[in-house]
Every structure is written in C-alpha cells, then in structure tokens.
C-alpha cells in the first residue's frame, strides 16, 4: 500500500471525533492516561439511573446481573478472548490481586518474576506477597528504562510460579515481546499474568495466539472507558485449576442458595467475581469498548504508528530528545520527550489546554489516538517546542 493510500485509510478514523466532544476544545494528547469520554456515556448513565429509579430491585433480573459478563465479552473481543472468559473488576490492581490469590507460593515453586518497570501499584502488591512466602524476582531495566525479553526469559525456571509483567511499559511506552516469554513460562510450568493496560486499545493483543494464562487491563486510557472498570481474562484451560482466595458470594456456582460453605466455585469466569459488581463503572466503560471494537485494533495501530512516527520526526527537527522507542515493533502508543524542565513545561502546557502528562525520570508523555487529526501533530509539537524554549531549554 502506498503512503498516500495508507493516509487516506487512516484519515477515516477522524470521523469518530464527533463522538468525543472533549477533543474539539483541547489538544487531546493524553489518552495513555485518560481517554476522551464518548458522548454516549452520558445517556448510558442516565438510563442506568432511570432503570434503578423505575424498576428497583427487579433491575437485577431484568439485565443488571448479566451486564458484567456481557461487558466483559465486549472488551474481551478486542483481544480475541473466548466468550465468557473475562470477569469485570474495579481496577487492574484488584483484578491482579484476585488472580494472584489463586497462586500457591510454596517452595520450591514460589517465585514471581516481574520487572522494575511494571506499574508501581502492582509492584506494591508483589511486595505484599513477599511477606506471604513469595520470592519476588524483579528484572532490572537497561538504559532508557528498557526491559530486555532475554533477561526475563533467563529468570524463568522450575522455581517460577508466575511471570507477571506489563506488555507495554507505562513510562517509556516500550512494547515487551510477550510470545517468547509466554513460551518459556509454559515450558517451565509457570503461569503468565499480563498487565496489558497500556496495550489494549492501541496495540493489537491476541490472548489465544500468545497463549497467556491471565491478562488484565483497565478502561481509563486507550479504551476511553472512564474509572471503575478493570478486567481479568483467564484462559479456559487454566480457569478451573484456579481457586482464588480473594472471592465472594457471586463467585459461587449458585449464589442465591446463600450456602454457608465450603464454597463451590462457578466453573466459568464468574469464579473470579467477588461481591456485588460496581455496575456504574462498567456501564460507563461500555461505549468506549464498543467503539474500539468496531474500529478494530489493527486500524488503530496503523494510525498510531503513522502519527507517532510523524511526532518523532518533528521532535528530531525541533531538537526535542525522544526517550520512547523509535522502532515500530517496540513503540507503544505514546511518544515520550525527555526535555529539560519537563514538569514545569507540562504545567504550562496544561494551563493552555494542551493535554499531556509528565512522569518523573522520563519526561513528557504525549499520545495521539484514533480521534487525533494529523494537523494536530504539528500544532502540539510546536507548542511543546515553544514552551521548552521559553523555559530556557
């Protein structure tokens, strides 16, 4: 396909802008942190309130109880999960805590292999497991906070219970190649638990092709789903072998028996539920999932690669140091600029309705998404350049 054809195809995605009111009033380059709100969410939440108001407790049987499974299937479709394999939770941290509560960290197989660049919330969770018998093996980063797959693979052996790591690193947006890691984990008899938050919605993920056991993510970022909805995929081959200690009445195969135990876990994904689901958060997430599923991960990725390449070229032209990977196969959806005075520049840009963010140690993070116009790339990079210059950088 020629460049001109690729651009014409990619440009069709800007038609989705009408569904995202926020993107017209700002330069919206922060979808790695909080994706723009789909217009339909307002009506969806109103409808939820109306159902509650008019139907009362009957709402559970008339749809509410089935909702988390239906919404899990929509998000699961984005990463090729089999229907009925995704459970919905409040956030990634809770989803991982539930998944890890099913792992018996008993020597000699008591290691959890993770990386220094995993999201802090999860590193704190692993720290907690260390007090309960797990030995945490944290793979160190190389220059530029890069993680080498070879280092992870070398750390996996018969002592490894779980390999838990990010697919796309949150600081520098590096893609970690999961296939060889998942293969090695399988050979060694270890489980895989992938944090795909910075991947799903911008980088295509296929859980079946990768052969990962468990995968989590949230909704706030690339999926434009707002707070309150994380998800957990567990592969059908692993599911019934896992018995989470963090559980609840809705994980029981017949919750309305109100059986006082011992529990009998649901054979499906509901075995990973806990108590009453947080429906408003899930309902708010649904429109974003549907839009991403309709556009398709491949089309979003093609546009992201095109636009991040342009931003990197502009950064080079303007002398702004790029600290995220340049190679397409390594590059997630975010461009990171390690400019002098990044924190102050970020604050000044935010005050001028340029929406981006700053992370200590890496600098400014900027992300286009499927709703970004090509013309905005030049605009945002010029604003960043001028702000950095103004600050004397």
Ligand X SMILES: Cc1ncc(COP(=O)(O)O)c(C=O)c1O
Residues at the contact surface with ligand X, assessed by CB under 6 A: 91-93, 119, 121, 166, 170, 195, 197-198, 218, 230
Residue placing its CB nearer to ligand X in the complex, 252 or 365: 365
| Least distance CB 201 / ligand X (angstroms) | 12
Residue placing its CB nearer to ligand X in the complex, 93 or 110: 93
Residue placing its CB nearer to ligand X in the complex, 10 or 168: 168
Closest CA to 326 of 351, 338, 308, 342: 308
Q: Concatenated DSSP letters for 105-161?
A: -BTTB-EEEEETTS-HHHHHHHHHHHTTT-EEEEEPPBGGGB--HHHHHHH-STTEE
| Least distance CB 243 / ligand X (angstroms) | 23
From the CA atom positions of the chain, what is the Rg in Å? 22
Contact 115, 138 (CB under 8 A): yes
Residue placing its CB nearer to ligand X in the complex, 38 or 333: 333
| Least distance CB 219 / ligand X (angstroms) | 8
Residue placing its CB nearer to ligand X in the complex, 218 or 288: 218
Residue with tokens 């975010």: 334
CA distance 156 to 114: 10
Residue placing its CB nearer to ligand X in the complex, 300 or 381: 300
Contact 227, 282 (CB under 8 A): no
| Least distance CB 99 / ligand X (angstroms) | 13
| Least distance CB 186 / ligand X (angstroms) | 23
| Least distance CB 138 / ligand X (angstroms) | 16
Closest CA to 381 of 328, 322, 293: 322
* Residue with the shortest CB distance to ligand X: 91
| Least distance CB 154 / ligand X (angstroms) | 23
Strand partners, 357: 365
Residue placing its CB nearer to ligand X in the complex, 93 or 172: 93
- Calculate ∠ Cα 227-295-237, nearest 5°: 70
């Amino acid at each position: 396909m020629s460049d001109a054809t690729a651009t014409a195809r990619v440009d069709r995605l800007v038609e989705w802008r009408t569904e995202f009111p926020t993107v017209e009033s700002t330069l919206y380059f922060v979808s790695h942190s909080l994706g723009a709100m789909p217009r339909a969410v307002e009506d969806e939440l109103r409808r939820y309130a109306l159902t509650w108001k008019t139907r009362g407790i009957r709402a559970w049987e008339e749809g509410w109880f089935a909702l988390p499974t239906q919404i899990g299937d929509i998000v699961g479709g984005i990463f090729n999960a089999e229907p009925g394999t995704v459970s919905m939770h409040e956030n990634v941290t809770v989803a991982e805590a539930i998944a890890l509560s099913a792992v018996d960290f008993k020597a000699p197989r008591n290691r959890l292999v993770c990386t220094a660049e995993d999201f802090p919330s999860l590193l704190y969770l692993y720290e907690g497991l260390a007090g309960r018998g797990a030995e945490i093996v944290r793979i160190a980063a190389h220059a530029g906070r890069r993680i080498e797959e070879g280092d992870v693979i070398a750390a996996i052996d018969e002592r490894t219970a779980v390999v838990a790591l990010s697919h796309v690193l949150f600081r520098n947006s590096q893609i970690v190649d999961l296939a060889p890691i998942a293969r090695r984990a399988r050979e060694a008899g270890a489980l895989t638990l992938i944090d795909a938050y910075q991947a799903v919605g911008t980088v295509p993920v296929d859980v079946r092709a990768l052969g990962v056991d468990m995968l989590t993510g949230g909704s706030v970022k690339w999926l434009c789903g707002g707070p309150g909805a994380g998800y957990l995929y567990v592969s059908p081959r692993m599911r019934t072998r896992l018995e989470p200690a963090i559980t609840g009445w809705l994980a029981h195969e017949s919750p309305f028996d109100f059986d006082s135990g011992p529990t009998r876990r649901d054979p499906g994904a509901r075995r990973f539920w806990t108590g009453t689901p947080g429906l408003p958060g899930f309902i708010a997430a649904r429109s974003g999932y549907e839009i991403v599923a309709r556009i398709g991960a491949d089309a979003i990725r093609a546009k992201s690669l095109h636009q991040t390449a342009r931003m990197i070229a502009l950064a080079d032209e303007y002398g702004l140091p790029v600290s995220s990977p340049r190679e397409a196969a390594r590059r997630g959806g975010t461009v990171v600029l390690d400019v002098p005075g990044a924190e102050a520049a970020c604050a000044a840009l935010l005050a001028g309705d340029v929406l981006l963010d700053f992370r200590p140690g890496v600098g400014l993070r900027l992300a286009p998404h499927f709703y970004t116009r090509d013309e905005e790339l030049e605009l945002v990079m010029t604003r960043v350049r001028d702000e950095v210059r103004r600050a004397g950088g």
